[in-house]
Amino acid sequence: MPIGRPRRPMAEGLPEHELAVRAIAGASANTIAGERGGALVVRVSAPPERGRANVAICRLLADRLGLAASAVWVVRGQASTRKVVRVRGIAAPALEEQLGVRVR
């Protein structure tokens, strides 16, 4: 099972959204640094090896959004700085307001 995927089935009917993310691994702190070029810039202190940065990105976003860690996972770009992250369980307006970025 890929890192960052939900480990258990989620309830049917929950809203799902995809976010373009530009990841910066090995940063001094875990932060969301705004939007650049249509992507949410996320800085994490975890190294970009064995999926550690992906896990840190998912945890940071889940914490910021008040969701369980299993509700956020990387769907594309596991080994890239440009990723697509799926978020389940939050309405688009709330997601956009809390992160300051448009969702797909």
Query: Could you tell me the residue ranges of all domains in the chain?
Result: 16-99
CA distance 56 to 3: 11
Residue 91: which of 55, 60, 58, 65 has the closest Cα? 65
For the domain bounded by 16-99, which CATH number is listed? Answer: 3.30.1200.10
pLDDT at 16: 93
pLDDT at 13: 73
pLDDT at 12: 61
pLDDT, averaged in runs of 10, over the chain (104 residues): 46 83 96 93 96 97 95 96 96 90 74
**Which pTM was predicted?**
0.85
CA distance 95 to 99: 6
CA distance 15 to 53: 25
pLDDT at 25: 96
- Spatial neighbors of 66 by CB under 8 A, at least 6 apart, are none
pLDDT at 11: 53
